[in-house]
């Protein structure tokens, strides 16, 4: 095993732990609410990611196991198998097993595990039969030493003969890994606290400076000011890491994918030193892997086809990172056959995703690739899977407050452009006033700001009033009513918000200004309430509440459109 | 086994330090260890849809905290002189909470003998108090910090 391989394996194990954590949470909720399709979706995505990356880094056993589980989850997703308690407990056993494997592999990268029973259970569940074995789940604690023995026997000579040499090697590897670890792991919480304090320090320093009068004459005050600025820059930069390690993982993905598909592809990495917030970079790996796989699987042609098309035998995939304003841009360009808008369009009609009468531009047709459950390959592909790829990419990036765009030209290739905020800690905020109180709304949620004219508002008894916006009629909510603000005024301004194909308007008193705000978590008492995304401290030192309009209103928007449907039919 | 008699040194261990404060005209106290700091009332931002006993959000050196009004929570009429008002920042382990009070008095050293059980007649409020602190003729109600935790958790449920 070379250093590179060890490094990506370790990286995978860390990622896998997070995925398992997510999956477990979804499992636990699923037990309470077995009919919840969103939870199945979440678990399915976790399993899918796990399968893909574990195969890529060479953990075949995990890949095999997750592949089975993924099949089972797909059947549940498509309502072919009902998620009974038995089925869920098989899936939970699977989750435990993978966790056990990941933990075992963390200690020893070449460990192997006994999972025959579980594979059988999964098969039984897949055939729609109750798995008999679930009655007696194998205890992972007891199981573990045994599997270690198995591993030693399988990979090394029996311990009483010549086993010393390989063991020694393992030990040395471990020692080396420890030596390399020269960086210090600091909890994000402490870094955030440092940032909070430094922010306050700067406010106080400014106050002291202004009370001193002419600053230029006071040498100490001047030095103090410079020092504060330096400390602030430094403390903000502590959260930033280079995208390099995330990019390097792609090399292996490209190598393995091209081998599997008998294609020739060169990967070009540009801007590896570009820095981005740690929390953003962590969520960047999966989307990148999906895009790269898709590019090689669907984009790049076979060497023969490329020669026929007058291109060089070897395809090219370029991943480039750079900063643009307050955003990190990652562009993934391939020189493959491009995305054919007509093919996507026909497919979407066949799948009933869009109506055949809808007229669309080529660009809109290409963007159908982000539609959930959309896959352009007819059969399930080993490499890019069941088409969960691109919609997962879009959701992941949007959750980070970013955007994905695609441009494609038939015959000459495609380009995906990921636009990510440099840090999750700072957002573009819109300071608004509603009923005499001010709030921050993330600017990214607001598509446009309109003045409300009385003639455009239709009151409906017992319902949310409607606002006529150009050709459209959308519900008009009142922010002060929904936040329970005491002073009632007449909403003069409407914020237009869109999510998917749904739009709605939120009436407020005024937009005060746009400004960047540092997001702080909501106080424990407020967490999860009435669409509160977080809190922030404004320039004058006063706290303010950041309102998430989507979480505040999307449920009601869906309800409104359901009523609409009923009354229409 | 031990070189000391059981009683010896016990009085030292048993002396607890309390912070005494006023709500309306009444005297209350909390264990000093639960208090992070005491500040003059800061500027506060109202929290939407919060119950009446919530004053709002404050900025404690970059940290955003919820401040509650203990007088309103306990149904006590606030005193008239507001210049004495203070906010006690409680460290409840998992979180910090600000509590608005009429005035801060002083730190009390209370021996175990001076802590009396809450009288039965106080039954309604008994849940809020851990005991009555007696110093000569004066009495202070010992407030249970868990009650603050509950009060703020209650806040979470309202929406």
In which band, very low, low, confident or very high, does the pLDDT at A167 lie, cut at 50, 70 and 90? very low
Most confident residue range from A12-16, A56-60, A531-535, A546-550 = A546-550
Q: Which residue intervals of A212-282 are DSSP H helices?
A: 219-237, 244-261, 278-282
User: What is the DSSP annotation of A391-402?
Assistant: HHHHHHHHHTT-
User: Nearest CA to B42 among B120, B123, B112, B98?
Assistant: B98
- Distance, in Å, from the CA atom of A535 to the CA atom of A274, rounded to the nearest integer, reads 29
Q: Cβ contacts (< 8 Å) between A541 and chain B: which residues?
A: 43, 59
Task: Note the pLDDT of residue A164.
Answer: 44
- Distance, in Å, from the CA atom of B110 to the CA atom of B15, rounded to the nearest integer, reads 5
Residues 6+ apart with CB under 8 A from A452: A467, A476, A491, A492, A493, A494, A507
Give A196→chain B minimum CA distance, Å. Answer: 5
Interface of A with B in 214-243 (CB under 8 A): none
Q: Cβ contacts (< 8 Å) between B66 and chain A: which residues?
A: 523, 525-526
* pLDDT tens, residue by residue, A471-486: 888 999 988 888 877 6
Task: Judge: A520–B159 Cβ closer than 8 Å, yes or no.
Answer: no
* pLDDT tens, residue by residue, B51-64: 888 889 998 887 88
% residues pLDDT > 70 (chain A): 82
Q: Cβ contacts (< 8 Å) between B62 and chain A: which residues?
A: 195-197, 199-200, 537
* pLDDT tens, residue by residue, B67-76: 998 888 888 8
Chain B interface mutation, best of A543, A549, A555, highest count of B Cβ atoms under 10 Å: A543
- Distance, in Å, from the CA atom of A547 to the CA atom of A375, rounded to the nearest integer, reads 36
User: What is the DSSP annotation of A280-343?
Assistant: HHHTTHHHHHHHHHHIIIIISPPHHHHHHTT--SSEEEEEEEEEETTEEEEEEEE-SS---HHH
Does A541 lie at the interface with B, CB-CB under 8 angstroms? yes
Does A302 lie at the interface with B, CB-CB under 8 angstroms? no
User: What is the DSSP annotation of A396-441?
Assistant: HHHHTT-EEEEEEETTTEEEEEEEEES-SSEEEEEEEEETTEEEEE
The answer to whether the predicted template modeling score (pTM) of the entire model surpasses 0.80 is no
Asked whether the beta carbons of A508 and A434 are under 8 A apart, the reply is yes
Residues 6+ apart with CB under 8 A from A99: A17, A20, A140
In which band, very low, low, confident or very high, does the pLDDT at B29 lie, cut at 50, 70 and 90? very high
**Degrees, nearest 5: CA angle A566-A568-A569:** 70
- Distance, in Å, from the CA atom of A224 to the CA atom of A202, rounded to the nearest integer, reads 10
Give A424→chain B minimum CA distance, Å. Answer: 17
Task: Note the pLDDT of residue A140.
Answer: 42
Query: What order do you get walking across the sheet with B35-39 strand by strand?
Result: B35-39, B86-91, B96-101, B63-69, B54-60
Q: Cβ contacts (< 8 Å) between A537 and chain B: which residues?
A: 59, 62, 64
Task: Note the pLDDT of residue A145.
Answer: 41
- Span A93-105, mean pLDDT? 82
Stronger pLDDT, A67 or A331, i.e. the higher one:
A331
Distance of CA A187 to the CA centre of its chain: 21
The region of weakest confidence among A20-29, A322-331, A489-498, A543-552 is A20-29
**Overall size of chain B counted in residues:** 159
Task: Judge: B65–A485 Cβ closer than 8 Å, yes or no.
Answer: no
Q: Looking at the partner chain, which of B59, B62, B97 has a beta carbon nearest the beta carbon of A542?
A: B59
Task: Note the pLDDT of residue A331.
Answer: 94
The region of weakest confidence among A64-78, A153-167, A460-474, B115-129 is A153-167
Task: Judge: B156–A535 Cβ closer than 8 Å, yes or no.
Answer: no
Q: Cβ contacts (< 8 Å) between A543 and chain B: which residues?
A: 44-45, 56-59, 64
Q: Within a 10 A sphere around the Cβ of A230, how many other Cβ atoms?
A: 10
- Span A372-382, mean pLDDT? 54
Cα–Cα distances in angstroms (integers) from residue A328 to residues A111, A240, A245, A416, in the given order: 38, 12, 16, 14
Interface of A with B in 92-151 (CB under 8 A): none
Q: Two tokens at A57?
A: 């880094």
**Overall size of chain A counted in residues:** 569
* pLDDT tens, residue by residue, A187-211: 878 888 888 888 778 777 777 777 7
Give B55→chain A minimum CA distance, Å. Answer: 13
- Distance, in Å, from the CA atom of A447 to the CA atom of A467, rounded to the nearest integer, reads 15
Give A480→chain B minimum CA distance, Å. Answer: 9
Task: Note the pLDDT of residue A440.
Answer: 93
* pLDDT tens, residue by residue, A7-55: 778 878 888 887 887 777 777 677 667 777 778 888 888 888 888 888 8
Question: Any bridge partners for residue A537, and if so which?
Answer: A543
Q: Count Cα atoms within 13 angstroms, Cβ side, for A113.
A: 27
Task: Note the pLDDT of residue B128.
Answer: 81
Task: Judge: B62–A197 Cβ closer than 8 Å, yes or no.
Answer: yes
- Distance, in Å, from the CA atom of A367 to the CA atom of A391, rounded to the nearest integer, reads 10
Asked whether the beta carbons of A290 and A383 are under 8 A apart, the reply is no
Task: Note the pLDDT of residue B31.
Answer: 92
Asked whether the beta carbons of A538 and A544 are under 8 A apart, the reply is yes
In which band, very low, low, confident or very high, does the pLDDT at B37 lie, cut at 50, 70 and 90? very high
* Closest chain B residue by Cα to residue A531: B159
Task: Judge: A542–B43 Cβ closer than 8 Å, yes or no.
Answer: yes
pLDDT at A136 over 50: no
Q: Cβ contacts (< 8 Å) between A523 and chain B: which residues?
A: 57, 64-66, 95
User: Nearest CA to A336 among A315, A354, A355, A357?
Assistant: A315
Roughly how many angstroms between the first and final C-alpha of chain A, as a whole number?
65
The region of weakest confidence among A183-187, A247-251, A358-362, B82-86 is A183-187
* pLDDT tens, residue by residue, B122-132: 555 667 888 88
Q: Cβ contacts (< 8 Å) between A525 and chain B: which residues?
A: 66, 95, 97, 152-153, 155-156
Task: Judge: A545–B49 Cβ closer than 8 Å, yes or no.
Answer: no
- Distance, in Å, from the CA atom of A322 to the CA atom of B12, rounded to the nearest integer, reads 65
φ, ψ for residue A274 (rounded to 5)? -60, 135
* pLDDT tens, residue by residue, A216-242: 667 888 888 888 888 877 887 888 888
The region of weakest confidence among A86-100, A378-392, A514-528 is A378-392
Sign of CA dihedral A223, A229, A235, A241: negative
User: Nearest CA to A419 among A348, A540, A330, A305?
Assistant: A330
Task: Note the pLDDT of residue B124.
Answer: 59
Considering only CA atoms, give the Rg of chain B. 17
Q: Cβ contacts (< 8 Å) between A518 and chain B: which residues?
A: none
Q: Looking at the partner chain, which of A485, A530, A543 has a beta carbon nearest the beta carbon of B64?
A: A543
Task: Note the pLDDT of residue A125.
Answer: 80
% residues pLDDT > 90 (chain B): 27
Task: Judge: B48–A437 Cβ closer than 8 Å, yes or no.
Answer: yes
- Between β-strands B86-91 and B35-39, what pairing exists: parallel, antiparallel or unpaired? antiparallel
Cα–Cα distances in angstroms (integers) from residue B102 to residues A88, B41, B70, in the given order: 56, 10, 9
Does A529 lie at the interface with B, CB-CB under 8 angstroms? yes
Task: Note the pLDDT of residue B157.
Answer: 62
- Distance, in Å, from the CA atom of B78 to the CA atom of A491, rounded to the nearest integer, reads 36
User: What is the DSSP annotation of A343-365?
Assistant: HHHHHHHHTTSS-TT----HHHH
User: Nearest CA to B31 among B109, B137, B96?
Assistant: B109
Task: Judge: A542–B48 Cβ closer than 8 Å, yes or no.
Answer: no
* pLDDT tens, residue by residue, B104-146: 999 999 888 888 888 766 555 667 888 889 888 889 999 988 8
Asked whether the beta carbons of A504 and A553 are under 8 A apart, the reply is yes
In which band, very low, low, confident or very high, does the pLDDT at A92 lie, cut at 50, 70 and 90? confident
Q: Two tokens at A550?
A: 């989507």
Q: Looking at the partner chain, which of A437, A525, A536 has a beta carbon nearest the beta carbon of B155?
A: A525
**Degrees, nearest 5: CA angle A455-A460-A461:** 140
Sequence-distant contacts of A348-356: CB under 8 A, at least 24 apart: A348/A374
Asked whether the beta carbons of A277 and A307 are under 8 A apart, the reply is no
% residues pLDDT > 90 (chain A): 9
Q: Cβ contacts (< 8 Å) between A196 and chain B: which residues?
A: 61-63
Instruction: Give the E-state strand segments of A28-149 in sequence order.
Output: none
Task: Note the pLDDT of residue A530.
Answer: 67
Task: Note the pLDDT of residue A320.
Answer: 93
Task: Note the pLDDT of residue A565.
Answer: 65
User: Nearest CA to A95 among A199, A16, A208, A169?
Assistant: A16
Give A147→chain B minimum CA distance, Å. Answer: 40
pLDDT at B156 over 90: no
Q: Is A128 left (phi over 0), alpha (psi -120 to 50) or beta?
A: left
3-state secondary structure of A146: helix
* pLDDT tens, residue by residue, A293-346: 888 888 899 889 899 988 888 899 999 999 887 788 999 999 988 888 888 888
- Distance, in Å, from the CA atom of A507 to the CA atom of A487, rounded to the nearest integer, reads 14
Task: Note the pLDDT of residue B12.
Answer: 55
- Distance, in Å, from the CA atom of A389 to the CA atom of A34, rounded to the nearest integer, reads 25
Give B66→chain A minimum CA distance, Å. Answer: 7
Task: Note the pLDDT of residue A163.
Answer: 42
Stronger pLDDT, A544 or B125, i.e. the higher one:
A544
Task: Judge: B61–A196 Cβ closer than 8 Å, yes or no.
Answer: yes
In which band, very low, low, confident or very high, does the pLDDT at A416 lie, cut at 50, 70 and 90? very high
Q: Two tokens at A99?
A: 């966790």
User: Nearest CA to A544 among A483, A492, A482?
Assistant: A483
Give A188→chain B minimum CA distance, Å. Answer: 15
Task: Judge: A523–B46 Cβ closer than 8 Å, yes or no.
Answer: no
In which band, very low, low, confident or very high, does the pLDDT at A139 lie, cut at 50, 70 and 90? very low
């Amino acid at each position: 095993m070379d250093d590179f391989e060890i490094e990506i394996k370790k990286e995978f194990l860390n990622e896998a732990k997070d995925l398992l954590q997510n999956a477990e949470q979804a499992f636990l909720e699923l037990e309470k609410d077995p009919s919840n399709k969103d939870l199945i979706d979440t678990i399915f995505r976790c399993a899918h990611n796990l399968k893909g990356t574990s195969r890529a880094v060479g953990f075949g056993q995990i890949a095999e196991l997750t592949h089975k589980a993924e099949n089972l989850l797909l059947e549940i997703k498509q309502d072919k198998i009902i998620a009974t308690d038995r089925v869920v407990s098989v899936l939970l056993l699977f989750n435990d097993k993978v966790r056990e494997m990941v933990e075992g592999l963390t200690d020893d990268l070449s460990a192997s595990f006994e999972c025959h029973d579980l594979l059988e259970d999964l098969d039984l569940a897949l055939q729609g039969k109750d798995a008999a074995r679930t009655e007696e789940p194998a205890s992972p604690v007891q199981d573990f030493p045994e599997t270690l023995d198995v591993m030693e026997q399988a990979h090394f000579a029996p311990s009483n003969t010549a086993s010393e040499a390989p063991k020694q090697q393992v030990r040395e590897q471990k020692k080396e890994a420890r030596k390399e670890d020269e960086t210090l792991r600091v909890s994000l919480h402490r870094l955030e606290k440092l940032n909070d304090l430094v922010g306050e320090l700067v406010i106080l320093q400014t106050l002291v400076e202004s009370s001193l009068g002419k600053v230029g004459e006071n040498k100490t005050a001047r030095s103090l000011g410079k020092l504060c600025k330096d400390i602030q820059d430094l403390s903000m930069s502590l959260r930033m890491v280079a995208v390099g390690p995330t990019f390097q993982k792609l090399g292996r993905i490209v190598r393995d994918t091209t081998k599997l598909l008998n294609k020739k592809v060169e990967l070009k990495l540009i801007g590896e030193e570009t820095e981005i917030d740690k929390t953003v970079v962590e969520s960047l790996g999966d989307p990148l892997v999906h895009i790269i796989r898709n590019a090689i699987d669907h984009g790049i042609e076979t060497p023969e086809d490329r020669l026929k098309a007058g291109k060089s035998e070897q395809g090219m995939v370029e991943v480039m990172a750079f900063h643009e304003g307050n955003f990190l841009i990652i562009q993934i360009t391939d020189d493959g056959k491009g995305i054919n808008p007509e093919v996507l369009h026909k497919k979407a009609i066949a799948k009933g995703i869009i109506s055949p009468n809808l007229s669309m531009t080529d660009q809109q047709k290409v963007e159908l690739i982000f539609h959930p459950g959309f896959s352009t390959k007819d059969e399930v592909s080993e490499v890019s899977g069941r088409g969960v790829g691109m919609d997962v990419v879009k959701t992941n990036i949007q959750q980070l407050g970013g955007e994905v765009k695609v441009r494609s030209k038939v015959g000459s290739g495609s380009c995906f452009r990921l636009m990510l905020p440099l840090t999750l800690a700072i957002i573009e905020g819109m300071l608004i006033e509603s009923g005499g109180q001010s709030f921050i709304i993330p600017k990214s949620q607001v598509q446009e700001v309109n003045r409300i004219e009385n003639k455009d508002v239709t009151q409906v008894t017992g319902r949310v009033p409607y606002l006529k916006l150009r050709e459209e009629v959308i519900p008009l909510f009142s922010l002060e009513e929904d936040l329970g603000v005491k002073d009632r005024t007449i909403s003069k301004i409407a914020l237009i918000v869109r999510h998917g194909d749904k739009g709605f308007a939120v009436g407020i008193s005024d937009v005060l200004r746009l400004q960047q705000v540092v997001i702080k978590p909501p106080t424990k008492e407020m967490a999860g309430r009435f669409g509160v995304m977080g809190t922030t401290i404004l320039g004058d030192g006063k706290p303010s509440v950041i309102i998430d309009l989507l979480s505040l209103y999307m449920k009601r928007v869906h309800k409104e459109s359901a009523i609409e449907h009923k009354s229409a039919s | 086994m031990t070189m000391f008699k059981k009683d010896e040194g016990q009085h030292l261990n048993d002396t607890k330090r309390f912070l005494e404060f006023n709500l309306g005209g009444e005297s209350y106290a909390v264990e000093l260890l639960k208090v992070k700091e005491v500040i003059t009332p800061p500027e506060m931002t109202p929290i939407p849809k919060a119950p009446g006993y919530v004053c709002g959000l404050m900025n404690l050196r970059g940290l955003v905290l919820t401040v509650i009004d203990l007088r309103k929570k306990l149904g006590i009429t606030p005193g008239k002189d507001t210049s004495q008002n203070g906010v006690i920042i409680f460290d409840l382990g998992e979180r910090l909470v600000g509590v608005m009070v009429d005035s801060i008095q002083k730190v009390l050293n209370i021996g175990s003998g001076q802590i009396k059980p809450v009288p039965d007649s106080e039954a309604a409020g008994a849940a809020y108090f851990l005991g009555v602190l007696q110093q000569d003729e004066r009495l202070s109600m010992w407030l249970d910090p868990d009650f603050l935790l509950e009060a703020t958790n209650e806040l979470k449920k309202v929406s």
